[in-house]
């Protein structure tokens, strides 16, 4: 074998090894950008300025509780990848959080590449990950003790019998996309079932809209769907996973969907125990409570008159 062929073979083998290593690389759902001190409002303004300067569009923000602010962002790369992917709207936004933990402010964000694989998107959003690091920085990835590989994320199921990404809740079916979007937007504006809009992103070139939604229980009997209540039970580690919020409603075509909570929560908290303190058992009623609240938002009670 001559030197040219040996060299070419060496390059091919190196590429194969690199791809295999990347496939086995474990990722975590959140990235700690940096820690700060000072007033929440000032740090949030600083973070928003960094995001805008870094090529991201701030599409909404809210405070699910007094110690946290969440900022939702998108850009053309996120929207274009969403347009190429089935139910890609779920990956059209990234979430950035500022959380006060014992007087120290943690600035963190969702890991774009982790989310791209979890939502089975066409691209891995590695470019967006690099862009986010450039805009905000990166101290470490965090969440579960052990991360998940791309392969594990793309077929993720918390445990047997629980939902996959491909098994969402279907809340309503309208005559067309426009009526579905209008109905959801109107009910969010009214705060139906304690659910309100945080952001809206229209996916280019397809009939798909993603709404980020805040959920605040209208009374104590409805607490199981409440953002604050759920996070008080499951977000207990020293580094806070606040950027798990907000939840989403997806209008794709004429249908209204959301990811079922046993997937949507578990994908961000994959090492949360089933029983014991700070476990899924503590929020056992939340998946159905969330589904019921979002079904009220996507209400299709008119459908009998439709057919």
Domain membership of residue 62 as a residue range:
30-306
The enclosing domain of 173 has a CATH number of 3.30.310.70
Residue 262 belongs to a domain? yes
Edge-to-edge order in the sheet of strand 140-142 = 57-65, 68-74, 94-101, 104-110, 30-36, 140-142
pLDDT band at 278 (very low <50, low <70, confident <90, very high): confident
DSSP state of 295: H
Is 47 inside any structural domain? yes
Answer whether residue 84 is part of any domain.
yes
- State yes or no: pLDDT of 288 exceeds 90: yes
The answer to whether residue 14 sits within a structural domain is: no
Q: What is the pLDDT of residue 165?
A: 97
* Residue 17 pLDDT > 70: no
How many whole angstroms separate alpha carbon 281 and alpha carbon 151?
28
Q: How many domains does the chain have?
A: 1
pLDDT tens figures, 197-211 = 999 999 999 999 999
Look at residue 120 and tell me if it is in a domain: yes
8 in a structural domain: no
| 125 is a domain residue | yes
């Amino acid at each position: 074998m001559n030197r040219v062929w040996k060299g070419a073979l060496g390059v091919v083998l190196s590429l194969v090894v690199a791809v295999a290593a990347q496939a086995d690389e474990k990722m975590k759902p959140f990235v700690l950008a940096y820690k700060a001190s000072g007033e929440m409002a000032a740090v949030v303004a600083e973070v928003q300025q960094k995001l805008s300067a870094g090529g991201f569009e701030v599409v909404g923000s809210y405070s699910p509780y007094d110690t946290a602010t969440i900022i939702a962002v998108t850009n053309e790369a996120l929207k274009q990848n969403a347009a190429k992917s089935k139910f890609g709207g779920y990956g059209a936004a990234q979430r950035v959080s500022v959380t006060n933990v014992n007087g120290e402010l943690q600035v963190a964000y969702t890991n774009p590449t982790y989310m791209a694989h979890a939502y089975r998107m066409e691209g891995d959003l590695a470019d967006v990950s690099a862009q986010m690091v450039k805009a905000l920085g990166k101290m470490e990835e965090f969440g579960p003790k052990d991360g998940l590989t791309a392969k594990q994320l793309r077929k993720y199921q918390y445990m047997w019998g629980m939902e996959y990404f491909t098994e969402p809740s279907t809340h309503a079916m309208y005559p067309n996309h426009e009526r579905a979007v209008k109905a959801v937007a109107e009910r969010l504006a009214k705060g139906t079932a304690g659910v309100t809009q945080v952001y809206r992103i229209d996916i280019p070139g397809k009939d798909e809209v993603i709404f980020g939604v805040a959920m605040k229980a209208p009374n104590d009997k409805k607490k199981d769907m409440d953002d604050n209540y759920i996070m008080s039970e499951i977000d207990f580690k020293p580094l806070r996973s606040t950027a798990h919020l907000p939840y989403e409603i997806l209008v794709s075509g004429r249908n209204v969907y959301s990811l079922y909570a046993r997937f949507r929560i578990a994908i961000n908290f994959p090492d949360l125990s089933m029983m014991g303190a700070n476990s899924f058992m503590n929020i056992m009623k939340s998946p159905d409570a969330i589904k019921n609240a979002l079904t009220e938002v996507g209400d299709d009670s008119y459908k009998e008159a439709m057919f």
